[in-house]
Copies of this chain bind each other. A is one copy, B any other.
Amino acid sequence: MNIPRTSFPRVVIIGGGFAGIALAKKLSKQEVQVVLLDKHNYHTFQPLLYQVSTGGLEPDSIAYPIRKILKDFPNFYFRLANVNEIDCKINKVITDIGDLSFDYLVVASGSETNFFGNSEIEKHSMAMKTIPQSLNLRSLILENFEEALLTSDLNERNALMNFVIVGGGPTGVELAGALAEIKKGILPKDYPDLDTRLAQIHIIQSSDCILKGMSENASKKAEDFLEKLGVNIWKNVRVTNYDGKTVTTNTDLTFETATLVWAAGVKGSTIKGLEADEFITRGNRLLVNEFNQVIGFENIFAIGDIACSISEEFPDGFPMMAQPAIQQGQQLGNNLLKLIEDKPMSPFVYKDKGAMATIGRNKAVVDLNNFKFQGVFAWYVWMFVHLFFLIGFRNRMVVFINWVYNYIRFDREARLIIRPFKKKKT
């Protein structure tokens, strides 16, 4: 892979998400050589993907070139690569651009959409975990409305204007809210010759509440907000199949739709060589100890969504979210330096800073440790926090301007079908 060996130990990081980047930053200017591998040349700010899908933001606002993040770090190397396998016996990663030996390996490969083994759903539904996926969803939504104009078959038209979101977590809730605002603010103007009141947005949630990880107040209020926006919430319903036309559930309910968004779960993106039963736990995650060491290894670590550290308080591991990923990355940075110097490492302690979700303009829910609130102020806090965590001054400026503009004008201008998702019917 054309990377020279130096006298510094080599740390290979797989994945430039929240965890990998936090770790890389901690290791900058230290006496280690760091090689970061990612299949994209950019870091994705996943919490705002739903705004890319709904035409509120463009990819460059929520993506950031990894090389730019690393540019001032000496002893840093980035390679655009798919990691195919880890050979733990000889301390080597095997990628599509060649092999690379490591002294320390950190797996930060994140998570992917979990279809729970249903290949029919996987084939026909839309996921929203990456920028290309989000752009595909954007194209599909817009293509559906263009197509709805053309048909005189009422059932077909309804199916095209029917959006079914499976999963009432933050992703599902935020997407549903954004679609509801598009229905209200944009569709009537863009499609005056279509009865857009018929457009329907459904959330299907297998348990008895949405935003399950948040407080009861937040969950209830989010439900209120969504219902006011005209979103239909179906609780205690589990989707059993989707053939591209009809969603079937474990109840009598069925939905005719051209768009099923699957936001019902994620699973760890494991890599060959570290997938034996002894490493893998619930959610396809790698079992790690309190130092984020993969069980059984001294020099192989996992952080972020892919890592599962089981404790009394978190029997299923920490939530698969940005906060634990960032904190683990930072902590591991310190611990790796200690390990190299033969000092004892410190165990990871998760500081839960709370959770939040936005439903629409002036509507958000925020749970902090001692302070839980909903509504307009929560919405400002949500915006401020998301702007703050975006990487890069330009990104913050561009996102801010888009938000102000969209707020004032009830608009989302990036409703562009740049790469059509489905071929138009002839």
Which of A176-184, A286-294, A388-396 lies at the interface?
Answer: A388-396
Quick one: which of B1, B79, B402, B424 contacts A96, CB cutoff 8 A?
B424
- Known contacts A150-B1, A424-B80; A65 and B416 CB within 8 A of each other: yes
Contact A418 B132 (CB under 8 A): yes
Near B by CB (< 8 A), chain A positions 138-156 give 142-143, 146, 149-152
Copies of this chain, complex-wide, total: 2
Complex Cα spacing A230 to B246, Å: 60
Contact B189 A80 (CB under 8 A): no
A343 within 8 A of B: no
A233 within 8 A of B: no
- Known contacts A150-B97, A419-B132; A405 and B401 CB within 8 A of each other: no
A272 within 8 A of B: no
Contact A146 B80 (CB under 8 A): yes
The 8 A CB mask of A85-117 against B (1 = contact, 0 = none) is: 000000000001110000000000000000000
Quick one: which of B59, B82, B142, B149 contacts A416, CB cutoff 8 A?
B59
Q: Smallest CB-CB separation from A187: which chain B residue?
A: B67
Q: Smallest CB-CB separation from A58: which chain B residue?
A: B58
Tell me the minimal C-beta distance from A412 to chain B in angstroms: 9
Residues of B within 8 A of A392 (CB): 413
Residues of B within 8 A of A60 (CB): 58, 413-414, 416
Contact A401 B398 (CB under 8 A): yes
Residue in A1, A142, A146, A394 whose Cβ sees the most chain B Cβ within 10 Å: A394
A341 within 8 A of B: no
Complex Cα spacing A220 to B135, Å: 43
Residues of B within 8 A of A142 (CB): 41
Count of A residues near B, CB < 8 Å?
Answer: 58
A369 within 8 A of B: no
- Known contacts A150-B97, A401-B397; A413 and B193 CB within 8 A of each other: no
A221 within 8 A of B: no
Q: Smallest CB-CB separation from A400: which chain B residue?
A: B401
Residues of B within 8 A of A150 (CB): 1-2, 79, 97-98
Q: Smallest CB-CB separation from A417: which chain B residue?
A: B41
Complex Cα spacing A78 to B173, Å: 32
Complex Cα spacing A67 to B193, Å: 12
Q: Smallest CB-CB separation from A419: which chain B residue?
A: B132
A68 within 8 A of B: yes
A234 within 8 A of B: no
Complex Cα spacing A96 to B426, Å: 5
Tell me the minimal C-beta distance from A100 to chain B in angstroms: 12
A348 within 8 A of B: no
A415 within 8 A of B: yes
Contact A415 B65 (CB under 8 A): yes
Residue in A40, A68, A77 whose Cβ sees the most chain B Cβ within 10 Å: A68
A8 within 8 A of B: no
Q: Smallest CB-CB separation from A82: which chain B residue?
A: B424
The 8 A CB mask of A6-42 against B (1 = contact, 0 = none) is: 0000000000000000000000000000000000111
Q: Smallest CB-CB separation from A60: which chain B residue?
A: B414
A63 within 8 A of B: yes
A71 within 8 A of B: yes
25 A-B contact pairs sorted by A residue (CB < 8 Å):
A1-B150, A40-B417, A41-B142, A41-B417, A42-B416, A58-B58, A58-B60, A60-B416, A63-B416, A65-B413, A67-B190, A68-B190, A68-B413, A68-B415, A79-B146, A80-B417, A131-B416, A135-B418, A393-B405, A394-B411, A394-B413, A395-B413, A398-B401, A398-B402, A419-B419
Besides A58-B61, A419-B419, 18 more A-B contacts (Cβ < 8 Å) are A2-B149, A2-B193, A3-B193, A41-B142, A41-B146, A41-B415, A42-B417, A58-B59, A60-B414, A67-B190, A68-B190, A71-B190, A96-B426, A97-B426, A394-B401, A394-B405, A397-B405, A398-B401
